[in-house]
Amino acid sequence: MTAPEGPVLSGPVRELADRIVAKYPVARSALVPLLYLVQSEVGWVPREGMREVAEILGLTTAEVEAVATFYTMLKLQPSGRYVISVCTNPSCSLLGGRRLYERARDVLGEASERVTDDGLFTVEEEECLAACDAAPVVTVNYTYFDRVTEEQLEGMIAGIREGRVPEASRGGVPGDLREVSRLLSGERSLPGPERQPASATGDDGA
Amino acid sequence: MPEFEPVLTARWGNADAVSIDGYLETGGYRALGKALATSPPALIEEVKASGLRGRGGAGFPTGTKWSFIPQSTGKPVYVVVNADESEPGTFNNRELLERDPHQVLEGLAIACWAVQCHTAFIYCRGEFVWPASVVERAVAEAYDRGYLGRGVAGSDFDLDVVVHRGAGAYICGEETALLESLEGRRGQPRLRPPFPVTDGLYGCPTVINNVETLSCVPHIVDRGATWFAGIGTEKSTGPKVFSISGKVNRPGNYEAPLGTTARALIEEHAGGISGGRALKAWTPGGSSTPYLTADHLDTPMDFEAVMAAGSLLGTGAMIVLDETDCIVDATLRFTQFYAHESCGKCTPCREGTWWMSRVMGRMENGHGRGEDIELMRDMGQNMLFKSFCALADGAVSPIDSSIKYFREEYEEHVRLGRCPFKDEPGAASVTDRTGGTTGSLAQVLPEGREVQLGEVLG
Ligand SMILES: Cc1cc2nc3c(=O)[nH]c(=O)nc-3n(C[C@H](O)[C@H](O)[C@H](O)COP(=O)(O)O)c2cc1C
Ligand code: SF4
Ligand code: FES
């Protein structure tokens, strides 16, 4: 997907952005949430989106970019609609995580490091996902599948290709990267209308 | 000793307890009412008397931390829940959030009353898409029922809770990096002192506590400090959820009193080593804590005893390797983790973790030289306590301790010019063939290229 023509955060999405900003005592805390919101609109985070976020928060684009490049879940180049992450940290690899990762790469090819030609997949090697009891662990858009075998992994990929996204071990059927990014932006935890954000530092210099 | 009854995991068998109705039916939010009827200083004294120590890795006394919060600065006070859980091998926070989200919320609300905080944050690692959604729902329920928001539980105490999701970076679990991240910056640690208790979020007094730490709090208030201090050992009190993974028959989270022996946890709770094989090495508290061996199985899992055995209790995450697992291979993979996750702020860690992963890779792939063992120890000495935060110390732990206990295995890699385990039937390779690291560090030294000491340290 190429970068968008018009503004990324406009209309109701821009209103949502304002509500997300409002839940923090200092606007800048909403930087990553707003980048997730951009990702939910575009499917990744183009520079144009960073510029808009900078404008909303009163920062420079360079400041936003410096933050965006720090975090692996913000995709700074076009990404697959389904990000398949395979944990290869030892607790998983001792039980086959490394082989799973290699299998995913074999099935989806070199391009999956960025995005497959059909735009569907990105494959990532993950560090410990805090679910080592369920090793080896695979996530689809950061939704967990426990004790995955190579066969199951191939089945998951085939299913997604046919539009049948498999149900995760917990958390239901993962949405695509845009939907999940929307969730990550914090849209489900917004302050009620009556909640006034407190002054951040007790003085006005914040 | 009387039979131990689970405390923190007591509701795990009860799927209804995830909802506020199920939580209330099982005694939930009773402690909050009791706390709100107690003065904040008395509450802090109670938590101090319980002996509760932080479960996030450092073991700092929780009540003492709360007591450091100054009340007369004119600035707001913040409390931040550290739910970034990323230490390899650690997975109890995730299950505590997924199965009993109100327990940690109640602990948080009590902590907020104790330090007079009116806006709290729960910083969840980004990959916790589902666990954080469970927490968001619990927060919404608590607002609806008046346990959060204006007038908490019928008192005149106001409290707002904001769930914040991270975006993938281990270092954001380090408390000052977490604050930077929450302020919308790169997650790089701050210089301490000043400490967060005086100069934390937005420069205000801030308490940062782990999910498991706060989950203990309602029980301390409900059943009393004396009861809590009666569990565990004299200096390491209370229950602990041990995450056990790797080559055991029943990997999982097991709650037991601090001071339970590693043997009981691995052999009884986790069902022993898979396939009846022999245990080779284990970490007591995640990959950042030095390995121990079968000789240390009778170590009580408490802060003091694990330290006396030459390691650290850390997060209580036990990663278990058996006799068919290559210690060099596993250690290389941990080293790659630290190289990938080093935030790059300070030189010993940024450069050290990178070079260590190169040298470890060369070792595992059969190109190591005898001197490499000393080279790695030397590099470790130049990182240990010379870096900005404890990530670098954690990176040195697996290397130093594996050399300490398994030097012959390193020497064998050098002698054979290959990994002696790679062709073992059933052995799983943890690293790839090139020894390349994950992510952006996927540059590989040309084969046979030698690393010079000056090059490493220069
Ligand atoms: C590199 C690094 C990573 C850390 N990651 C975590 C983490 O994921 N969760 C956590 O609670 N503490 C983590 N800590 C420890 C925190 O800095 C801090 O000590 C802890 O959150 C305090 O809470 P507690 O007193 O309740 O344990 C980490 C520390 C370091 C140095
Ligand atoms: S020790 Fe490593 S992680 Fe910590 S500040 Fe230095 S570079 Fe960053
Ligand atoms: S090692 Fe894979 S989830 Fe922990």
Name the least confident of A128-137, A182-191, B224-233, B316-325. A182-191
Contact A189 B163 (CB under 8 A): yes
Contact A71 B127 (CB under 8 A): no
Task: Measure CB to CB from residue A171 to each of B129, B186, B244 and give the nearest one.
Answer: B129
Question: Domain check: are B159 and B31 in the same one?
Answer: yes
Assigned domain for A4 exists? no
Residue B437 has pLDDT above 70, yes or no: no
Could you tell me the CATH number of the domain that includes residue B199? 3.40.50.11540
* Rounded mean pLDDT, B21-26: 98
Name the least confident of B88-97, B201-210, B330-339, B421-430. B421-430
Question: Domain check: are A133 and A158 in the same one?
Answer: yes
> Which of B229, B262, B293 lies at the terminal end of a domain, its last residue?
B229
Residue B89 to residue B250: CA distance in whole angstroms: 14
Question: Domain check: are A127 and A183 in the same one?
Answer: no
Question: Domain check: are A101 and A166 in the same one?
Answer: yes
Question: Domain check: are B269 and B339 in the same one?
Answer: no
* Rounded mean pLDDT, A35-47: 98
Question: Domain check: are B380 and B455 in the same one?
Answer: no
Name chain B contacts of A57, Cβ cutoff 8 Å. 184
Q: Does B366 touch chain A (CB under 8 A)?
A: no
B386 φ, ψ to 5°? Answer: -110, 5
Assigned domain for A2 exists? no
Assigned domain for B441 exists? yes
Question: Domain check: are B317 and B254 in the same one?
Answer: yes
Q: Is the distance from CB of B54 to CB of B175 less than 8 angstroms?
A: no
Question: Domain check: are A168 and A93 in the same one?
Answer: yes
Q: Which atom number of ligand 2 is nearest to the Cα of residue B344?
A: 7
Question: What is the side-by-side strand order in the sheet with B252-257?
Answer: B252-257, B239-246, B317-322, B279-282, B292-293
Question: Domain check: are B210 and B341 in the same one?
Answer: no
Q: What ipTM does the predicted assembly reach? A: 0.93
- What's the pLDDT band for B78 if we cut at 50, 70, 90? very high
Q: What is the pLDDT of residue B444?
A: 34
Could you tell me the CATH number of the domain that includes residue A109? 3.40.30.10
Quote the ligand 1 centre to B101 CA distance (angstroms): 19
Q: What is the pLDDT of residue B360?
A: 96
Number of folded domains that form chain A: 2
- What's the pLDDT band for B449 if we cut at 50, 70, 90? very low
Contact B140 A88 (CB under 8 A): no
Q: What is the pLDDT of residue B455?
A: 36
Name chain B contacts of A128, Cβ cutoff 8 Å. 86-90, 287, 337
Number of folded domains that form chain B: 4
Assigned domain for A3 exists? no
Residue whose C-alpha is closest to residue A101's, from B157, B388, B200, B429: B429
Assigned domain for B7 exists? no
Q: What is the pLDDT of residue B1?
A: 52
Residues 6+ away with beta carbon under 8 Å from B235: B51, B302, B303, B304
Question: Domain check: are A143 and A97 in the same one?
Answer: yes
Q: Which two tokens stand for residue B134?
A: 């469970």
Name chain B contacts of A139, Cβ cutoff 8 Å. 127
Residue B213 has pLDDT above 80, yes or no: yes
What's the half-sphere exposure (Cβ side, CA atoms, 13 Å) at A48?
A: 13
Residues 6+ away with beta carbon under 8 Å from A86: A92, A97, A100, A101, A104, A123, A124, A125, A126, A136, A137, A138
Name chain A contacts of B439, Cβ cutoff 8 Å. 72, 125
Residue-wise DSSP of B190-249: PPSSSPTTTS-GGGS-EEEEEHHHHHHHHHHHHH-HHHHHTSB-SSSBSEEEEEEEESBS
Residue B440 has pLDDT above 60, yes or no: no
Question: Domain check: are A101 and A171 in the same one?
Answer: yes
Provide the shortest C-alpha distance from residue A138 to chain B (in Å).
11
Question: Domain check: are B220 and B247 in the same one?
Answer: no
Given its phi and psi angles, is residue A115 left (phi above 0), alpha (psi -120 to 50 degrees) or beta? beta
Question: Domain check: are A86 and A170 in the same one?
Answer: yes
Residues 6+ away with beta carbon under 8 Å from A112: A80, A84, A104, A105, A121, A122, A123
Residue ranges making up the domain that contains B436:
428-458
Residue B115 to residue B118: CA distance in whole angstroms: 9
> Which of B322, B352, B368 lies at the terminal end of a domain, its last residue?
B322
- What's the pLDDT band for A1 if we cut at 50, 70, 90? low
Q: pLDDT: is A84 or B440 the higher one?
A: A84
Task: Measure CB to CB from residue B340 to each of A36, A127, A130 and give the nearest one.
Answer: A127
Q: Which atom number of ligand 2 is nearest to the Cα of residue B345?
A: 7
Question: Domain check: are B354 and B455 in the same one?
Answer: no
Beta-bridge partner residues of B119: B78, B160
Question: Domain check: are B266 and B201 in the same one?
Answer: no
Residue A139 to residue B120: CA distance in whole angstroms: 29
Residue ranges making up the domain that contains A16:
12-76+179-200
Residue A198 has pLDDT above 60, yes or no: no
- What's the pLDDT band for A59 if we cut at 50, 70, 90? very high
* Rounded mean pLDDT, B351-358: 96
Question: Domain check: are B296 and B353 in the same one?
Answer: no
Quote the ligand 1 centre to B178 CA distance (angstroms): 9
Quote the ligand 2 centre to B401 CA distance (angstroms): 21
Assigned domain for A206 exists? no
Question: Domain check: are A107 and A155 in the same one?
Answer: yes
Provide the shortest C-alpha distance from residue B191 to chain A (in Å).
19
Question: Domain check: are A137 and A164 in the same one?
Answer: yes
- What's the pLDDT band for B438 if we cut at 50, 70, 90? very low
Strand bridging mode B239-246 / B252-257: antiparallel
DSSP, collapsed to helix, strand or coil, labels residue A86 as strand
Question: Domain check: are B176 and B27 in the same one?
Answer: yes
Residues with CB under 6 A from ligand 2: B 171, 189, 342-346, 349-350, 387-389, 391-392
Residues 6+ away with beta carbon under 8 Å from A5: none
Provide the shortest C-alpha distance from residue B95 to chain A (in Å).
9
Assigned domain for B39 exists? yes
Question: Domain check: are A53 and A92 in the same one?
Answer: no
Question: Domain check: are B62 and B195 in the same one?
Answer: yes
Q: pLDDT: is B325 or B447 the higher one?
A: B325
Beta-bridge partner residues of A124: A85
Name the least confident of A21-30, A103-112, A183-192, B371-380. A183-192
> Which of B207, B229, B251 lies at the terminal end of a domain, its last residue?
B229
Residue A204 has pLDDT above 50, yes or no: no
Q: What is the pLDDT of residue B432?
A: 61
- Peptide bond preceding B290 in cis form (omega within 30 of 0): no
Q: What is the pLDDT of residue B354?
A: 96
DSSP B300: B
Residue B281 has pLDDT above 80, yes or no: yes
- What's the pLDDT band for A189 if we cut at 50, 70, 90? confident
- The rounded radius of gyration (Å) of the Cα atoms in chain B is 23
Could you tell me the CATH number of the domain that includes residue A66? 1.10.10.1590
Residues 6+ away with beta carbon under 8 Å from B179: B80, B190, B196, B200, B201, B206, B208
pTM over 0.90: yes
- What's the pLDDT band for B392 if we cut at 50, 70, 90? very high
Assigned domain for B422 exists? no
The CA angle B17-B127-B433, to the nearest 5 degrees, is 130
Given its phi and psi angles, is residue B266 left (phi above 0), alpha (psi -120 to 50 degrees) or beta? alpha
Q: Give the mean pLDDT of chain B.
A: 92
Residue A184 to residue A36: CA distance in whole angstroms: 6
B426 φ, ψ to 5°? Answer: 85, -10
Question: Domain check: are A64 and A110 in the same one?
Answer: no
Contact A135 B245 (CB under 8 A): yes
Task: Answer whether A100 contacts ligand 3 (Cβ < 6 A).
Answer: no
Q: Does B203 touch chain A (CB under 8 A)?
A: yes
Question: Domain check: are A170 and A192 in the same one?
Answer: no
Q: Which two tokens stand for residue A201?
A: 């530092």
Question: Domain check: are B116 and B247 in the same one?
Answer: no
